[in-house]
Structure 1
Amino acid sequence: MLIIRPSAAEDAVQLIAVDNSAWTVDSAVSDNSWTSPEEFLKRCPPGSQIVAELDGVVCGYVQSRNPTGLPSNDHVTELSIAVHPGYHGQGIGRRLLQAIEEQARAAGKRKVALRVLASNPGAIEFYKRCGYVEQGRLVQEFFLGGRYVDDLLMYKLM
């Protein structure tokens, strides 16, 4: 059974495994290689993420934050989401998006935004199916794997 819940300290090792499996040169701009669970917990303290747990295994997460930290931008939250590739196609990403959108609405947010690399067409299509639309493109924003890659900005109004 799929459980969607706030992250806990004991999830750190499994969340690191999700990061290590989900983020590739086509899907991420940085290497999320964590040196330890303690380092992970400093940057992602318990409760800062919503996790998906299936049969005792943490297989995905979503988190959000104000993209600029400015009060005038407080109505916007920018999300980051990852699902272990072994769990794709099971509705886990959609459930995580629903959970973060519900959290955003409850907090009075009007807009949920995200960034996705143009080299990740599967994720782009997934976000479109979930109601997100492209609002802009940062052309050749990153140099990854020997090539320049655009960064797409997408959003959904609450």
Structure 2
Amino acid sequence: MSTQPKQAVVRRAEERDVPGLVECSAGLFAEDGGTRDPGGTNVNWPREHGAERFRQNLEVPERLLLVAEAGDQIVASLTGVLSGPSPMKPITTATLVSMYVKPEYRRGQIGSRLVAAFLAWAKEQQAARVDVTAYASNPDAIKFYERHGFATKSVILEAQL
């Protein structure tokens, strides 16, 4: 008998979701930065500082915290932020800062629903652009974001010292 994950509801995060946000953030840090940038990412940051940061960000109008909830657990999250306009960059940009879907819930359109909610929020905030950063060594993430209209704008080159 196979167990199919319950359908998830995507919604704005609330105070009660902070432990789930921390869990998703810890999963992202371990899976993405921890494997793709060893030594350059503090994989303990979410558990050490995440709860405080998420609580603060719940109150910031320029921040978006979304969760996907299945049953009584948070199975995915997305964080976004607005920046600008400024004299140097006279447009408002919405940045998809981070997104994580627990492995057993992937391929179920949860990520697409989170991105759609992020894009709707960005439009409501009158952002002229949206952007996201993905590791070059994560082709699945790059393909995912390309399917949602994101295109490569720049490349960051790095060398170890």
Please state whether the residue corresponding to 2:11 is helix, strand or coil.
strand
The alignment-based identity, stated in percent, is: 20
Aligned to 1:97: 115
Task: Give the CA RMSD over aligned residues.
Answer: 2.6
CA distance in 2, matches of 1:73, 1:16: 34
- Contact 1:66-1:74 at 8 Å conserved across structures: no
User: Structure 1 stretch 112-121 or stretch 37-46: which is displaced more?
Assistant: 37-46
Please state whether the residue corresponding to 1:138 is helix, strand or coil.
coil
Aligned to 1:140: 158
Matching of residue 77 in structure 1 with residue 77 in structure 2? no
Aligned to 2:4: none
Change over 3 Å in CA distance of 1:120–1:55 after alignment to 2: same
Change over 3 Å in CA distance of 1:103–1:129 after alignment to 2: same
TM-score normalised over the length of structure 1: 0.76
Change over 3 Å in CA distance of 1:69–1:16 after alignment to 2: farther
> Structure 1 or 2: larger helix share?
2
User: Structure 1 stretch 56-65 or stretch 45-54: which is displaced more?
Assistant: 45-54
Please state whether the residue corresponding to 2:133 is helix, strand or coil.
strand
Q: Which consecutive unaligned segments of at least 5 residues does structure 1 have?
A: 149-158
Please state whether the residue corresponding to 1:112 is helix, strand or coil.
strand
Match of 1:124 among 131, 134, 142: 142
Please state whether the residue corresponding to 2:153 is helix, strand or coil.
strand
What is the CA distance between 1:73 and its match in structure 2?
A: 4.6
Matching of residue 57 in structure 1 with residue 66 in structure 2? no
Aligned to 2:127: 109
Match of 1:19 among 21, 25, 33: 25
**Runs in 1 of length 4+ with deviation above 6 angstroms?**
none
- Contact 1:12-1:40 at 8 Å conserved across structures: no
Please state whether the residue corresponding to 1:95 is helix, strand or coil.
helix
- Contact 1:79-1:114 at 8 Å conserved across structures: yes
Q: Which consecutive unaligned segments of at least 5 residues does structure 2 have?
A: 1-6
Match of 1:41 among 54, 67, 76: 54
User: Structure 1 stretch 38-47 or stretch 118-127: which is displaced more?
Assistant: 38-47
Aligned to 1:151: none
CA distance in 2, matches of 1:12, 1:79: 19
Aligned to 1:8: 14
> Which string of whole-angstrom CA distances, capped at 9 and with x for unpartnered residues, describes residues 21-61 of structure 1?
22232457633332267424344336840111122221112
What is the CA distance between 1:74 and its match in structure 2?
A: 4.3
Letter matched to residue 138 of structure 1:
I
CA distance in 2, matches of 1:41, 1:76: 21
TM-score normalised over the length of structure 2: 0.75
CA distance in 1, matches of 2:144, 2:91: 26
